[in-house]
Structures are given as structure tokens and as C-alpha cells.
Structure 1
Amino acid sequence: MSLSIQNLHLAHGKHVLFNDISLPAIAAGSLVAVLGPNGVGKSSLVKSLAGIHSYKGEAKLNDFELSSMTQYQRLKHLGYVPQALPQASSLLAYEVVMSSAKSLAANESSMRITEKVEQAFMTLGITSLAMKPMHKLSGGQKQMISLAQALVREPSLYLLDEPTSALDLNWQIRVLEAVRSEVTQKQSIGLLISHDINLALRYCDQIILLAPNELLSAGSPMQSLTSQNIRRAYNVDARIEKCSKGYPIVLVDQAL
């Protein structure tokens, strides 16, 4: 399985976000961070792949054009987690995730569906939330339920729009470890929008670094996140160092 993006053109009205962007093919088992400053089009890119915005060019999953997918095919193959949190309701968190699981479960037994739902809660470490109504959950807890809705469907491609934005550091680590594990074990592909460069360095196989109207780099974290590229993207002076455990980290010296 692979994701291929070629000659992608994306615009909002007359405002062009991307013009003729092509990426190296992304292989199964890859977790890829989409980085860049605010307003550069990260969310628009993910929404386009999810079928929410239209685009010109090619975006293929296993040689199947994403824009040609039916709604059912998108539900089956794409796991889109938006920035917007699930709506507050009296439904239990368990019921919300179960509904997502049942949307694709025509040929699965009720026992298997239940197992998948329970596994999603266990994978994210949120079994304590299962019997709580959605309107009593915090923003971060709702974000975890949204991610559980994607995990339970076992998609081929995860499209995650800042899935840790409402979470504290402990839960950010848990989520990224869970997503990293799922992508590796299921040999799916994950595109992860993030503003945390250091977490992306630690957990992602590849980095797509965007600047206004421009793809700066797409490749391994150390290839993409050079001091020069970070300066061009974020307008800061920064350097790549290694922490005491050997993980690469970005240190920002000053804004320009």
C-alpha cells in the first residue's frame, strides 16, 4: 500500500494554497508529520484528501484516486479526525464509538464489533471514559473519543488534524505512541498535523514541511528539519541538537 500525491493544486476561491505540489510515495507503515506555520494550508491539505475540499491533480491510495471515492469507501479506508471536537450529547462515549464501528460492520458479528470497540478504548488508555456521557467530557477527552472513532474502523489512511491540541503532555505522548503502534502493526499510513516539532521528530518517519505557497521539504525528519528550512518556514533561528537520551530536538534561539 502507498499514498501518492502528484501535481496537487488547492485553492480557496482565488487564493491559491498549493500549486503543482508532488510528494515522494508514502509507504505502508509510515507516520508522516505535516508541519508549517499557521495559515499555510495544513488543514486544507488533509481536508482535501478526506474529500471535504476539492483539489486538482492526483492523490492516490493504492492507485485509487481519493477524489473518486464514494462516501462508503471513504468511511472504510480513511480515518479523518478533525480539529473540531465531537458534539456534546447525552450519548455515552462507548455508544459514540460503537456507532462508528457499526457503520462498516455489515459482515462482522456483534461479538467482533464489541471487541474492536473495547480494543480502541484500551489502546488509547481511556476505558474509564466509556460509560460517561459526551456532554460531561472535557475537550481533551472528547478529542480522545474522536480518535477512538477512527481507530475502531481500522482505516488504511489516517488523516489527523492536530489530534493532540487539547491534550496535556502525558496524553500527547500516549496518543502518539498509540497511533505509531497502530500504523506499524496494521501497515496503514498516518498523516499527522502538528505544531510540536519535537514530538514529530521523535515519533514520525517522515516530515512534510510547508511554507506559504511552497513545499519546503518532504523526507526523513533530519533531512527536512534543517536550520535553513526551519528559518524559511517559521522565520526563526533554530538548531538541531540531541538530548541526553539521543533524541533529536529543535532549539529556537530567536524570532527574526
Structure 2
Amino acid sequence: MKQLEIQGLTLGYGRREILHGASLDALRGGAITALIGPNGAGKSTLLRGLAGLLPARGSVRLDGQEMIGLRLEHRARHIAYMPQSLPQGVALTVMEALLGALRASPTAEGQLSASAATERALDLLEQLGIPHLALVGLDRLSGGQRQLAGLAQALVRRPQVLLLDEPTSALDLRYQLSVMELVRKLTRQHGLVTVVVVHDLALAARYADEVVMLAGGTIRAQGTPEATLTPAMLAEVYGVSARVERCSHGHLQVLADAALPA
């Protein structure tokens, strides 16, 4: 089973440190880890650091191999990163974007031939249920379709680690659920180490196998949703009085009742 180990990780922008000496219990393959916390907690910074997009001190090891210090194109063979949204105004079709992702960085199997790359991209679009979008321009997609196209770009190189920064942001409820269901299915199916930044605590509670709570650039808690999303921790980190209960379908629910005095 794949494992991602993070020890003493420090990240920031220029001289400004955002995350300070973060260490986590190993993140395992086949499981979704949700990064939660208030704005400015360091969630997206941690994700970008794992992707190799920020200078970092410390250790990030995938199955024992150190990722820090690897050139970005080599790291991209193992780790895929999906930003909050695709760039606007891009006229490429979905298929062209996938083939471009394969050309930009060789896969673990090396550089694919044109026919093999096309076959892989088409197979993936079938898995995601969007083969009809293959020849549609990215600039013509709806918000939900753009997120699925972005997910396809992240997955087409068949990474071992999948990093998703708010994949449900700005989506309506239907697409929020369908995207998270799809992420869970692919994570289980391919044994991915999946790390997702989530603002919606209900989605984190429902879909994450493990939750990492951040605040002020430090890790405050790590564990199952039930162990981590407690009224005491929500009061401490979010400053709210909250209840955590299971609904009639067995899903964990977070119900914020009131803001606590500052």
C-alpha cells in the first residue's frame, strides 16, 4: 500500500512562513485525507508544497523516496495537483489539454506514443463520464464540467498521489456530490493517496477517511472525521458553538449553532 510521509515541513512565500514544521502520520493509499481549517490556516500552502510548487524545508517521502529536491517534472510522475480552477480564456479542447499534460511531463512508463496517449485520454474521459466533452473547448464548459476536465488532467498521468485544491468550490450541490463520489471511487479503485482541501465540513465529514485540521500554520488535529470534528475542536479552531451528530442515513453532520465571543 502506498504511503506519503510528511515530517518537519516548513513552507512559505518569500520570507513569510505560512506552515511551520508540519508533521503528519503517514497518509495511506486508497484513502481520502481532507485538509480543513479557517481561511489563512495553511491548507492550500500545504497542498502546493506537496506538489513541489513552493520552496520547502523538511521531508516528503512517497514509499520511502524523498520528493523534496526532485525536479518538478520528475515529481510530477508521482504526484498530480489540481488547482482551484483551470485558467480562464483557454481555447484548447479537453482532449488537447489532456494530451498536453502527457507531453509536458513523462509518465512513470516514460513518454507515450501519440496513439497510446490518445487511447489513454479517451479511456479516462469514459471513466469520468465525459467522453462527449473531448472536442469541446475548455472556455465553453460549465463550472462542473471544468472541474471534471481539471480532474482528468490531474489523473491522465496515472499518479500515485492526487492533490485537489477545493475541487467543489463554486459548484452547485449536484456537482459537489458527483465530483466527491467520483474522487472516492477513483481513490479506492487505483489505491491513490488523495489529499483534498475542503471548506465544507459536511463534505469532509461524509467523504474523507481522515481529516487534518490546520490553524495558524500548524497542524491541530489528525484522525477520523468523528475523532477530529468534535465540538471542542470546532470551538477552538473555528470559534463556533457546534453539534456533531449522525443523520438518519448515518452520515456525520456538523451543525454550527452560534459564533463564540472573540
d(CA) in 1 for partners of 2:77, 2:56: 21
| TM-score scaled by length of structure 1 | 0.92
1:213 pairs, out of 217, 222, 232, with: 217
2:129 pairs, out of 125, 132, 142, with: 125
d(CA) in 2 for partners of 1:233, 1:130: 43
Q: CA deviation at 1:102?
A: 4.1
Residue identity over aligned pairs, in percent, reads: 39
Which amino acid in 1 is paired with 2:17?
V
Q: CA deviation at 1:202?
A: 1.1
1:193 pairs, out of 191, 197, 220, with: 197
The aligned runs of 1:1-256 (5 Å cut-off) are 1-103=2-104, 104=106, 106=110, 108-256=112-260
Higher alpha-carbon deviation: 108-117 or 170-179 = 108-117
d(CA) in 2 for partners of 1:242, 1:129: 38
Q: Which runs of 5+ in 1 are unaligned?
A: none
Q: CA deviation at 1:71?
A: 2.5
d(CA) in 2 for partners of 1:177, 1:24: 25
Contact 1:79 1:151 survives alignment (8 Å): yes
Contact 2:29 2:193 survives alignment (8 Å): yes
Contact 2:103 2:111 survives alignment (8 Å): no
Q: Which runs of 5+ in 2 are unaligned?
A: none
Q: CA deviation at 1:14?
A: 4.4
Distance 1:75-1:233 versus aligned 2 partners, 3 A rule: same
- SS of the equivalent of 2:77 reads helix
- SS of the equivalent of 2:58 reads strand
Count of paired positions: 256
Distance 1:49-1:249 versus aligned 2 partners, 3 A rule: same
Contact 1:124 1:175 survives alignment (8 Å): no
d(CA) in 2 for partners of 1:141, 1:129: 8
Q: CA deviation at 1:171?
A: 1.2
Contact 1:180 1:203 survives alignment (8 Å): yes
| TM-score scaled by length of structure 2 | 0.90
